[in-house]
Structure 1
Amino acid sequence: MKLNRSSRMAALALAAGVLLSTAACSSDSSTGSGDAAAGVADGKPLDPNATVTISIDCAPGADQAAGKANYADDLALFKTKYPNVTINAKPYVGQCEVPAQQTAQYKAHDETGAFHAYFTDRDATLNSGDAQDITKYVNDETLPGFSSMLPSVKENMTVDGKVYALPINYYTTGLIYNRDLFKQAGLDPDKPPTTWDEVQAAAKKIAALGNGVSGYEDYSGGNTGGWHFTSELYSLGGKMVSEDGKKAAFNSAEGKQVLKRLHDMRFTDQSISATPVTQWADAFPPLATGKVGMFLGAPDVVKHLIEVLGADAKAYGIGPMPGATGPGNSLGGGDLYYIKKGQTPNQIKAEIAWINFQYQTPDAGQFNFARSKTLAGSSKDPVAIAVPQPYFWSAESPQIKAITESLKTNGNLPLSNYDPYVKNPTKSITEPPAAQQLYKILDTAMSAALTDPNANLDSVLATAETQANQILANQ
């Protein structure tokens, strides 16, 4: 595939590729070269003439040929603005962050200068003592769009008003829906449900179409049942655990409401299929073939349906997470880079500049949709360009406006299909402690609600609470 825009860029990318290939063998030390000026610890951007060496982890590795080439291209473009900045990018293969490896790095204090973590890793990262307070370095000049970032994004960047991390990925759960089925059922595809009462009513109308069509789909196994229970609980204002994280809090009015509604939809309305969905991947074929009207998921679900299952690119819309009286809280998450302590101001500024360029700048890095369009044109497989993830900023921000304009030219999906989601950002709540263990326990509750017409849902939820308390007590 043609990845570079000119022979000059190809030469630069080759040089950057050499840098990437040698980075795995180079030191991860973030102290910088001896002749690099230290710089000043302030809110000014990096001097374009500064000579500085930095290190960063989670660069695409050997198993990501296209991603590795794009990353090399971006390193080369960054070099045109900062010719004296050397970036030692440490590649990864498979999963960027392996928990055991992360724990070992924190214990040994040998992270790269900028090091990756998930939203859920904040406590462990700060407890390591290795994360630098970068508040004085971050503003709308060094990080354009900082003041327009969504509150839920900023919450994960900061602690007690101090900035410690920069986001590179962000998602919230929303309502994925089939616009064609909405039209057939007499529903407005431009106005998806925003409350659970509306979801239930719409699901009933869609199921009435017959031909094996279900109005709504949900999980009941494989840890995905508990995962969706959590998302639905959050949307109603409920909590998974107590404030101190020591006890379960889901055996509540909101938790009972989640199960009762699903039970009613399955056995009274019959708007949910009798076939249980017990594994993550099993939910998608019915969605891709137009047999399901609505499903909870992040925007990348649409990407998966199109690219992996060959679904109609125009068929899907995304709405905000439904709530009790309007759009509700959503289960969300993301990735960040923390900056390691002990570096010079110029190293910190260079790391901020690179992260901003690669992950937060319209028409560059991960938002280089012109490049995506070129790659899509030479691909034999479907490529979805325009799914609204990751969006760090408010809908009215210059960043989102610039991204939207770029997608009008370079995207291949109908942007207006996602307006209900983009224009109604909801507060995201991260996963609870011991998330996977709690999800497994709550699979049983979701299975009871979706497969047993005579289920004692209160009893099932109480049993799950007891089991969860045992797990949380040992955290």
Structure 2
Amino acid sequence: MRTTCIRHARRTATTTVTGVLALSLLAACGSGKSTGSERSSGKVKISVVSLKPGSEKAAVDTFNAQVKQFEQENPNIEVTPKEYEWKATTFAAQLAGNTLPTEFTVPFTDGKTLIERKQLANLSSEVKALPYAATFNPKVLSAGQATNGDIYGIPWAAYGIGLQYNRTLFTKAGLDPDKPPASWGEVRSDAKQIAARTGQAGYAQMTQSGTGGWMLTTLSYALGGRMEQADGNKVTATVNNPQTKQALQKLHDMRWDDNSMGSNFLYDWGGMNQAFAAGKVGMYMGGSDVYTSLVQQNKINPADYGLAVLPLDSSSTEAGILGGGSLAVVSAKASQAQKDAAVKWIDFYYMRKLTKQDAAVLDAKTLAQGKQPVGTPSLPIFDKATLDKSNEWIKSYVNVPLKQMTSFTSGVFSQNLVAEPAAQTQALYGALDPVVQAVLTDRNADIDSLLSKADSDVQTILDRG
């Protein structure tokens, strides 16, 4: 591994997903040599991300059981789990402060810039030695590749945004939980009915820590809009488009005319999940894989949960759902021995269950014994046939309420999947947070002026590079 001093750097798809980060930071040089602290009693020591802070004890115990399985298979490797949750507001500081584990995860949108700024280990030779290396969906793999094709990040999870909905609130409101809304007009009317009959927010929107821009982009995509346009190396902001204006007007009308969005307009990802699991939100947009976190962190009652495909504007051929995912990466400071060990862990923990039946069954059995979710909907890392095969292997262990997710699982593969904005993704999202907040907190907010300013702000960010 080559480690170079760098001076600059800074979000769970089947299309090319790239992105860059918005902050600057300093990263120190690493020697790339194995030290005494990396080995003890002949063992290579690595730290790996475990679960999000606040996960229930049963989830932690299950993860630790998987660590023991790995160490039994690899007696020369010692693994130390570390709690971790990627957040746009804290990641740069963690990276600069060298507090991240040897192996950690980042969103697809972060891969390119971390690679360009040499903050990740080059894993090309290690990944190419894996038996399934040639079968990755190339568009998905590209999120973790440099321009020359070298591999720095291994894609392990892909999602599409769906409409999360609370079946219990639907029932209390006199709505059929087996018939979730299929259009944004129905979302609005159902939200209004839920709010009027239950006193809870019929629909809620994330608005801070970059999630406001993320979800506004999602809604704009669903209506046929796009936030950027690339022409060679030139990227132009297109935030100020008719579909994004329409999206903001929908939120304005639900908030101010219908009073169906509750009273909290400062939700981030964790806060939204908490409120939803507590029965305070009828519907919100979120990744298809969020059920796992709702169980592990928020103890949601499975009977409450429903997942539907995101309604798309049927009049637009450009309408689609936003797709994203996660890369497993290794610190640029890792020694060669640690790189080898970390890729073995990534293979064991993330990848084998997708490609090998015995590994898939062991993973599902371990999770099920720990009462952890098995079978949460995802999108293909390789191809749909491989995903379908792995789902069949674990069928007898599936414990998530799939019958309550059929709208999504039966409909998502016929929807147009659209990658997140490719350039300055997190900065773009951050610039849109205050726009969404303004519309939800000021009845007289001027949407045209807000979008015009946001478009100019984003263009400045794009031009700065």
TM-score between the two structures when normalised by the length of structure 2: 0.69
Q: Judge conservation of contact 1:306–1:384 (CA < 8 Å) in 2.
A: yes
Instruction: Say whether residues 1:127 and 2:119 are aligned partners.
Output: no
- Kindly provide the CA deviation profile for residues 342-372 of structure 1, in whole angstroms up to 9, marking residues without a partner as x: x99x999998666433312336379712112
Q: Judge conservation of contact 2:367–2:373 (CA < 8 Å) in 1.
A: no
Which amino acid in 1 is paired with 2:202? G
In terms of Rg, which structure is larger? 1
Distance of 2:223 and 2:166 partners within structure 1: 24
Equivalent residue for 1:374, pick from 369, 391, 394: 369
Instruction: Say whether residues 1:469 and 2:459 are aligned partners.
Output: yes
Give 3-state SS (helix, strand or coil) of 2:291's partner. Answer: helix
Instruction: Say whether residues 1:265 and 2:254 are aligned partners.
Output: yes
CA distance change for structure 1 residues 134 and 189 in 2, over 3 Å: closer, same or farther?
farther
Q: Judge conservation of contact 1:393–1:399 (CA < 8 Å) in 2.
A: yes
Distance of 2:182 and 2:224 partners within structure 1: 14
Equivalent residue for 1:26, pick from 26, 38, 44: 38
How far apart are residue 335 of structure 1 and its match? Answer: 1.6
Distance of 2:180 and 2:433 partners within structure 1: 27
Q: Judge conservation of contact 1:241–1:250 (CA < 8 Å) in 2.
A: yes
Distance of 1:180 and 1:91 partners within structure 2: 36
Instruction: Say whether residues 1:443 and 2:433 are aligned partners.
Output: yes
Give 3-state SS (helix, strand or coil) of 2:370's partner. Answer: helix
CA distance change for structure 1 residues 256 and 375 in 2, over 3 Å: closer, same or farther?
same
Which amino acid in 2 is paired with 1:318? L
Q: Judge conservation of contact 1:55–1:89 (CA < 8 Å) in 2.
A: yes
How far apart are residue 253 of structure 1 and its match? Answer: 1.3
Instruction: Say whether residues 1:360 and 2:351 are aligned partners.
Output: yes
TM-score between the two structures when normalised by the length of structure 1: 0.67
CA distance change for structure 1 residues 350 and 93 in 2, over 3 Å: closer, same or farther?
closer
User: 1:332 — aligned with what?
Assistant: 324
- Kindly provide the CA deviation profile for residues 311-341 of structure 1, in whole angstroms up to 9, marking residues without a partner as x: 321221112333222972215231234799x
**Which residues of 2 match residues 161-310 of structure 1 at below 5 A?**
162=149, 164=151, 165-183=153-171, 189-208=177-196, 210-243=197-230, 244=233, 247-310=236-299
**Count of matched residue positions in the alignment of Structure 1 and Structure 2:** 405
Q: Judge conservation of contact 1:219–1:278 (CA < 8 Å) in 2.
A: yes
- Kindly provide the CA deviation profile for residues 170-206 of structure 1, in whole angstroms up to 9, marking residues without a partner as x: 3332211122344555655445345434433443444
Instruction: Say whether residues 1:427 and 2:400 are aligned partners.
Output: no
User: 1:75 — aligned with what?
Assistant: 70
How far apart are residue 69 of structure 1 and its match? Answer: 2.9
Which amino acid in 1 is paired with 2:187? V
Q: Judge conservation of contact 2:170–2:194 (CA < 8 Å) in 1.
A: yes
Distance of 1:413 and 1:193 partners within structure 2: 22
Give 3-state SS (helix, strand or coil) of 2:37's partner. Answer: coil
Distance of 1:132 and 1:286 partners within structure 2: 40
- Kindly provide the CA deviation profile for residues 249-284 of structure 1, in whole angstroms up to 9, marking residues without a partner as x: 211112111101111222234332244244444434
CA distance change for structure 1 residues 240 and 291 in 2, over 3 Å: closer, same or farther?
same
Distance of 2:434 and 2:69 partners within structure 1: 47
How far apart are residue 442 of structure 1 and its match? Answer: 1.8
CA distance change for structure 1 residues 284 and 89 in 2, over 3 Å: closer, same or farther?
closer
CA distance change for structure 1 residues 279 and 102 in 2, over 3 Å: closer, same or farther?
closer
Give 3-state SS (helix, strand or coil) of 1:295's partner. Answer: strand
Distance of 2:185 and 2:421 partners within structure 1: 25
User: 1:17 — aligned with what?
Assistant: none
Which amino acid in 2 is paired with 1:75? F
Give 3-state SS (helix, strand or coil) of 2:396's partner. Answer: helix
Equivalent residue for 2:306, pick from 317, 333, 338: 317
CA distance change for structure 1 residues 284 and 430 in 2, over 3 Å: closer, same or farther?
same
Q: Judge conservation of contact 1:393–1:400 (CA < 8 Å) in 2.
A: no
Q: Judge conservation of contact 1:57–1:89 (CA < 8 Å) in 2.
A: yes
Q: Judge conservation of contact 2:220–2:244 (CA < 8 Å) in 1.
A: yes
Distance of 1:401 and 1:295 partners within structure 2: 30
Distance of 2:269 and 2:340 partners within structure 1: 41
Q: Judge conservation of contact 1:237–1:329 (CA < 8 Å) in 2.
A: no
Distance of 2:126 and 2:224 partners within structure 1: 31
Structure 2: unaligned runs, 5 residues or longer: 1-33
Which amino acid in 1 is paired with 2:399? N
How far apart are residue 468 of structure 1 and its match? Answer: 2.7
Q: Judge conservation of contact 1:59–1:68 (CA < 8 Å) in 2.
A: no
Structure 1: unaligned runs, 5 residues or longer: 1-21, 34-52, 106-110, 377-382
CA distance change for structure 1 residues 413 and 73 in 2, over 3 Å: closer, same or farther?
same
User: 1:153 — aligned with what?
Assistant: 140
- Kindly provide the CA deviation profile for residues 131-160 of structure 1, in whole angstroms up to 9, marking residues without a partner as x: 365699479xx118x64x667634425577
User: 1:403 — aligned with what?
Assistant: 391
CA distance change for structure 1 residues 385 and 432 in 2, over 3 Å: closer, same or farther?
same
Which amino acid in 2 is paired with 1:200? R
Q: Judge conservation of contact 1:359–1:366 (CA < 8 Å) in 2.
A: no
Distance of 1:370 and 1:277 partners within structure 2: 39
Cα RMSD of the aligned pairs, angstroms, is: 4.6
**Which residues of 2 match residues 43-54 of structure 1 at below 5 A?**
none
Instruction: Say whether residues 1:456 and 2:443 are aligned partners.
Output: no
Distance of 1:399 and 1:295 partners within structure 2: 26
